[in-house]
Amino acid sequence: MKAMIVTVIIIGISVVVFSMLKSGKFVTNLVKTVFQGIASLLAVNTVGLLTGVTIALNWYTITAASIFGIPACISFLLIDTILK
């Protein structure tokens, strides 16, 4: 099971990096994705002070948000909602 999860993560990262390379603007897209992911995490935690829904800031969440951007943040919110 652990190997399957690692395989899915590696495939996901490969797809994101490949699409950035194919666009011809790798660095620009990478910076945008990192900025959007971190900004979305901070926005969720800021609004979470009012709503009570927050995402823990650790190296897993920050790395995932940096690589996958806003979809990772949305996924964290869905997982948090489902598992509560």
| Residue 15: closest CA among 83, 75, 58, 71 | 71
**Strand positions, DSSP E, the chain:** none
Residues of the chain with pLDDT under 50: none
8 A C-beta contact, residue 40 and residue 65: yes
| Amino acid occupying residue 19 | S
Res 80: pLDDT: 84
Res 39: pLDDT: 93
Give the distance from CA 57 to its chain's centroid.
12
Res 40: pLDDT: 92
8 A C-beta contact, residue 37 and residue 73: yes
- Dist. CA 15–CA 21, nearest whole Å: 10
Res 46: pLDDT: 92
Res 24: pLDDT: 80
Res 16: pLDDT: 78
